[in-house]
């Protein structure tokens, strides 16, 4: 749909972008109207992302209630062996035959769209992730709904930007608004939504760009509050306030969460690679879905997002409450194995999550991180309190909350997001300092072993990750296509001097490719090497290209990231370098001056208010 085909949108667009009367001290009308349009779109994105999150949560609740309302709490429920398999099968059919596109790894897709696709996200992502993840999680898939909603929100922002024909920088900002609004709405956490976008998606916006993000966050949270109430997602009642004597326990909990985060990240990466090598999606389904079903049968707490277990550990008042974790499993009525059962959940949750996604389901790692963190915090506190000679007793409830922050900080490499998200999720502001201690300790522990988060490691290995380093970010955002100079002129080794002079006389270039009959690059011919003979007509049939050509200082490929391009220029000190495709066929030249000119322009654009 184009703006010109719809009179209502056209009038609205014209009104929003109409320049205001110039006044002393006011920015120009076009600049002001552009900012006003961005604020309006940020508001719309906040509303839409909030509604999308509410719809997905409602869909999950309805499916889960329909399937499990008759389940026994005192006996094992054999349908746990069936529901997850059916859910993944339906989701796989939906994705394969209706969507016909990969919709997994939502946050990684956003990062890739920013780095390599000028923030373009396909239109179907505004709805496909909602349906796919709703079915997956409702039927028991052990994943979270948050990453699909973040992808949905970013897709809404991307497609609104295209609808209003905005430039790539503005579209990138709207993608950030969608992600921020999604986190803000689904968690009722506006500050966490803003921090998540800046920290996890690694946007390096100017101060003036933060206002649309704030508008989107506040709008999404307000809409969610208006529809679902003002209560926190997880109710938490602080009983034992912060005391300085518990600081060593907080630090050790953070270190413990760092190692659990490392385990979670490394095992998920290994399992994903294992399933990817299977090739066929049906083979992955036949292997992964039964493993998931067995794990959920043994540990029913792995069913779906696991938020009920989080609420139980955060608010339980003693063993009678905590033993409810064993309900509906083979281990019901065996409270003496509770801690062993919780340890098993920590170990196998990553298997359940990866099997869900690799088998054909759709979901994210937000909720699994919170889930594993809550269990890890509780288990750490329980074991700490059992240590002989220990006089500092720590509350399991508080440490369950702190563990959520620790895992979020470690898995996502986002300590600020972990701190603010958990504080806003639970209302646990009385533990703000312990949250900071645990988040920092967890983050400092995992970065020793793993420099990239679970979302960014795939792109970082390919050199496709935008970072807070502005120089590296700009190079990542630059595309090879934008700097390649395409050539029509090509020389062959057997061409004589007459042919060389003919091509030079009709061109403004100073370097020419020498290729074979198949178009593969062999060498280059530099104008300076021809000047001394180009007017000697008696040599026109005696000298040939092979006598005058020079070897290439280096060759670039069309898939090289821009940081490789720049480092190659630096190492060779060349002013022009040839570019070839994967087969060695000549594509064009890249000039150092062209790259620097585009780099300066992008620096100016990123710094422009």
Angle, CA 553 vertex, CA 547 and CA 558 arms, to 5°? 115
Closest CA to 84 of 366, 360, 325, 371: 360
Considering the domain architecture, whether residues 112 and 254 belong to the same structural domain is answered as no
Considering the domain architecture, whether residues 257 and 399 belong to the same structural domain is answered as yes
Q: How are beta strands 511-515 and 586-591 bridged, if at all?
A: unpaired
Model confidence at 13: pLDDT above 70: no
Query: Distance between CA 62 and CA 64 in Å, rounded?
Result: 6
In a domain, 210, yes or no: yes
Over residues 348-358, the mean pLDDT reads: 95
Query: Distance between CA 487 and CA 469 in Å, rounded?
Result: 34
Over residues 281-302, the mean pLDDT reads: 94
Find residue 585's DSSP bridge partners: 520
Model confidence at 77: pLDDT above 70: yes
In a domain, 238, yes or no: no
Q: What's the token pair of residue 429?
A: 């502001």
Angle, CA 327 vertex, CA 321 and CA 330 arms, to 5°? 140
Domain that holds residue 154: 3-20+28-228
Over residues 371-382, the mean pLDDT reads: 96
Q: What percent of the chain has pLDDT above 90?
A: 45
Q: Is 196 exposed, middle or buried (0-12, 13-18, 19+ CB in 10 A)?
A: buried
Query: Distance between CA 564 and CA 71 in Å, rounded?
Result: 58
Model confidence at 296: pLDDT above 50: yes
- DSSP output for 273-333: HHHHTT--HHHHHHHHHHHHHHHHHH-GGGSTT-HHHHHHHHH--SHHHHGGGGTTSTTTT
Among 440, 464, 488, the domain-final residue is 464
Tens digits of residue pLDDT in 124-151:
999 999 999 999 999 999 999 988 999 9
Considering the domain architecture, whether residues 266 and 193 belong to the same structural domain is answered as no
Query: Distance between CA 341 and CA 369 in Å, rounded?
Result: 18
Model confidence at 16: pLDDT above 50: no
Q: Spell out the long-range contacts of 418-424 with Cβ–Cβ below 8 A and sequence spacing 24 or more.
A: 418/442, 420/189, 420/191, 420/192, 420/195, 421/183, 421/187, 421/189, 421/192, 421/195, 421/196, 424/187, 424/188, 424/189, 424/190, 424/191, 424/192, 424/232
pLDDT for residue 29:
44
More confident residue, 259 or 583: 259
Tens digits of residue pLDDT in 79-111:
999 999 999 999 999 999 999 888 877 677 777
In a domain, 360, yes or no: yes
Tens digits of residue pLDDT in 200-217:
776 556 666 789 999 999
Considering the domain architecture, whether residues 451 and 493 belong to the same structural domain is answered as no
pLDDT for residue 197:
86
Considering the domain architecture, whether residues 307 and 404 belong to the same structural domain is answered as yes
Considering the domain architecture, whether residues 494 and 364 belong to the same structural domain is answered as no
> How many CA atoms, within 13 angstroms, populate the side-chain half-sphere of residue 583?
7
Query: Distance between CA 318 and CA 314 in Å, rounded?
Result: 11
Domain CATH number, residue 146: 1.10.3080.10
The pLDDT-based confidence of 538 (bands split at 50, 70, 90) is confident
Considering the domain architecture, whether residues 379 and 430 belong to the same structural domain is answered as yes
List, edge to edge, every strand of the sheet that includes 576-580.
Answer: 484-486, 586-591, 576-580, 556-557
- DSSP output for 418-436: HHHHHHHHH--GGGHHHHH
pLDDT for residue 184:
94
In a domain, 236, yes or no: no
- State how many domains the chain has: 3
Q: Which range is least confidently modeled, 376-380, 442-446, 454-458, 520-524?
A: 454-458
Tens digits of residue pLDDT in 420-439:
989 888 876 788 899 999 99
Considering the domain architecture, whether residues 284 and 433 belong to the same structural domain is answered as yes
pLDDT for residue 353:
95
> Where do we find the tokens 């009959």?
517
In a domain, 197, yes or no: yes
pLDDT for residue 206:
64
Considering the domain architecture, whether residues 210 and 93 belong to the same structural domain is answered as yes
Compute the Cα dihedral for 370, 82, 124, 104 and give only its sign. Answer: positive
Over residues 350-370, the mean pLDDT reads: 93
């Amino acid at each position: 749909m184009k703006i010109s085909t719809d009179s209502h949108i056209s009038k609205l667009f014209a009104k929003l972008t109409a320049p205001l009367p110039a006044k002393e001290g006011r920015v120009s009308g076009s600049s002001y109207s552009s900012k006003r349009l961005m604020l309006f779109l940020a508001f719309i994105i906040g509303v839409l992302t909030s509604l999308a999150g509410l719809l997905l949560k409602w869909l999950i609740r309805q499916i889960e209630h329909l399937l499990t309302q008759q389940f026994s709490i005192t006996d094992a429920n054999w349908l746990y062996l069936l529901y997850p398999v059916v859910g993944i099968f339906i989701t796989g059919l939906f994705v394969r035959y209706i969507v016909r596109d990969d919709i997994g790894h939502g946050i990684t897709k956003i990062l890739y769209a920013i780095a390599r696709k000028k923030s373009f996200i396909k239109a179907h992502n505004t709805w496909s992730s909602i349906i796919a993840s709703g079915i997956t999680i409702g039927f028991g898939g052990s994943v979270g709904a948050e990453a699909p909603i973040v992808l949905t929100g970013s897709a809404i922002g991307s497609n609104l930007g295209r609808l209003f024909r905005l430039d790539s920088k503005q579209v990138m900002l709207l993608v950030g608004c969608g992600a921020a609004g999604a986190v803000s709405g689904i968690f009722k956490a506006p500050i966490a939504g803003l921090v998540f976008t800046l920290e996890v998606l690694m946007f390096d916006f100017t101060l003036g760009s933060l206002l649309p993000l704030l508008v989107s966050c506040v709008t999404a949270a307000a809409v969610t509050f208006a529809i679902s109430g003002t209560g926190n997602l997880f109710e938490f009642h602080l009983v034992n306030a912060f005391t300085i004597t518990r600081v060593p326990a907080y630090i050790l909990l953070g270190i413990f969460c760092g190692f659990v985060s490392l385990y979670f990240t490394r095992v998920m990466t290994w399992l994903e690679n294992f399933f990817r090598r299977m090739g066929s999606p049906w083979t992955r389904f036949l292997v992964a879905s039964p493993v998931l079903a067995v794990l959920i049968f043994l540990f029913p707490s792995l069913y779906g997002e696991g938020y009920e277990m989080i609420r139980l550990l955060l608010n339980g008042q003693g063993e009678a409450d905590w033993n409810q974790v064993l309900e509906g499993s083979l281990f019901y009525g065996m409270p003496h194995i509770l801690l062993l059962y919780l340890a098993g959940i920590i170990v196998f949750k990553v298997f359940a999550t990866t099997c869900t996604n690799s088998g054909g389901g759709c979901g994210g790692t937000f909720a699994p991180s919170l889930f594993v963190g809550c269990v890890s915090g509780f288990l750490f506190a329980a074991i700490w309190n059992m240590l002989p000679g220990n006089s500092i007793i720590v509350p399991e409830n508080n440490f369950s909350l702190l563990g959520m922050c620790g895992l979020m900080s470690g898995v996502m490499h986002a300590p600020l997001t972990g701190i603010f998200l958990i504080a806003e999720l639970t209302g646990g502001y009385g533990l703000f300092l312990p949250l900071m201690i645990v988040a920092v300790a967890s983050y400092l522990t995992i970065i020793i072993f793993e420099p990239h988060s679970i979302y960014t490691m795939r792109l970082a290995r390919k050199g496709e990750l935008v970072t807070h380093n502005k120089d590296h970010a700009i190079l990542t955002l630059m595309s090879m296509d934008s700097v390649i100079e395409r050539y029509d002129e090509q020389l062959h080794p057997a061409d004589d001097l007459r042919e060389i002079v003919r091509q030079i006389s009709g061109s403004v270039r100073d370097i020419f490719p020498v290729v074979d009959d198949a178009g593969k690059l062999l060498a280059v011919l530099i104008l300076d090497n021809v000047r001394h003979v180009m007017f000697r007509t008696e040599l026109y049939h005696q000298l040939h290209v092979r006598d005058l050509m020079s070897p290439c200082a280096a060759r670039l490929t069309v898939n090289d990231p821009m940081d490789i391009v720049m480092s190659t220029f630096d190492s060779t000190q060349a002013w022009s370098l040839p570019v070839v495709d994967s087969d060695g066929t000549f594509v064009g030249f890249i000039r150092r001056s062209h790259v620097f000119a585009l780099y300066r322009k992008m620096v100016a654009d990123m710094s422009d208010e």
